[in-house]
Amino acid sequence: MSCPLCHYPKCATLDSRGYHDADVVRRRRECISCGYRFTTYEQVIIRGDIVVSKRDGNREVFKLSKVENSLRMALAKRNVTPERIERIAQAVAETIDFGADGAAGKTARGHYRLVTSAHIGQLVMESLRELDPVAYVRYASIHRRFHCLADYQRLLDTLA
Ligand SMILES: [Zn+2]
């Protein structure tokens, strides 16, 4: 994001928060060069609707903010910038959006694609695996519902 005032190509993020329940994130930014403060609203553009089929059988509309939140939890205190987390979440969303995975469905409003929460979890795990092994194990333990130390051991064996 470049500064609207001096066009310097970099700015710092002071604060970011989700906007209502929508997949819109509001950010306070500050130009690194001239100090100008401004606000941006970001929204990921996704082709058509993506519906997530959850483990319990319920379905819900895909929300980028959910992916971001799960990444934030996994990467808590892991020295990864919020911008990096956003980029990972967006990459996951784009993979879902452009990927061939998931069955196509139809609603009164038009087409939607169905992805499983397991598939989304797998994509998140793949991106964490390279980035930060600790976050990867954290995320996996939640996503795969680890019950005992042997579950961790099996996962750690795959990292060795
Ligand atoms: Zn500036």
pLDDT in tens, 50-88: 888 888 889 888 888 889 999 999 999 998 998 899 889
Distance 38 CA to ligand 1 centre (A): 10
Which helix (H) or strand (E) covers residue 26, if one does? strand 24-31
Q: Which residues surround ligand 1, an ion (CB under 5 A)?
A: 3, 5-6, 8, 31, 33-34, 36
Does residue 15 form part of some domain? yes
Domain of residue 60, residue span = 49-159
- Is residue 67 within 8 A of residue 120, CB to CB? The reply is yes
Q: What is the reported pLDDT for 22? A: 61
- Is residue 116 within 8 A of residue 51, CB to CB? The reply is no
Distance 11 CA to ligand 1 centre (A): 8
Give the amino acid at 131.
L
Whether 64 and 111 map to the same domain: the answer is yes
Centroid of chain to Cα 155:
22
Whether 101 and 38 map to the same domain: the answer is no
